[in-house]
Amino acid sequence: MALAVCLLFDRRTDRILRALWDRLEDRGVPTLKSHTHGRHVPHLSLAVLREWDQEKVTQAVQPLMDGPVGLYFDALGTFRRGRAWLVPAVGVDVLELQEKAVSAVRETGADLHRHYEPGRWVPHCTLAPRVPLVSLPILAAAVYDVLPLEATADHAALIDSGTGQVWLL
């Protein structure tokens, strides 16, 4: 179980990403829609915590989320073990926001997952957590029918990955 500090998308972007999840599911590629508890939402994580005090984390990151963030998705990426994701082009504003979020959660004593260290963090919007190699052509075809995608993250939340519970910031 982990707690993530996430950017969440506006209605338009959320709708497009959920439709992509549906399209992939219809083609036999399991996505975040059906993963674990089934309560996942399209998002971009700025920080993932392994241990935390939620009240302190909420107070620390709340002031950082003060306006919409533009993202441009134009590529498909994969991590080890088959996690597939959309690759966003990010500006300095997103990199600075991620660094501020990490600094804020560290000040609370939270334990940051090593993949979210500034300079190591790879911004991404997960589509499917475990894609077998044989499904990559199906995934790529569906994704490239949607890209490029101008996206807006217009709010933020803390999300418990174990339960799917969302606390809007």
pLDDT digits (tens, 9 = 90+) for 104-153: 999 999 999 999 999 999 999 999 999 999 999 999 999 999 999 999 99
pTM of the predicted protein model? 0.93
Residue in 128, 123, 73, 136 with CA at minimum distance from that of residue 97:
123
Range list of H helices, the chain: 11-26, 54-61, 92-107, 136-146
Q: Are 72 and 151 in contact (CB under 8 A)?
A: yes
Domain boundaries, the chain: 3-168
Q: Indicate the angle between helix axes 92-107 and 54-61, nearest 10 degrees.
A: 140
Q: Which CATH number fits domain 3-168: 3.40.640.10, 3.40.630.10, 3.30.465.10, 3.90.1140.10?
A: 3.90.1140.10
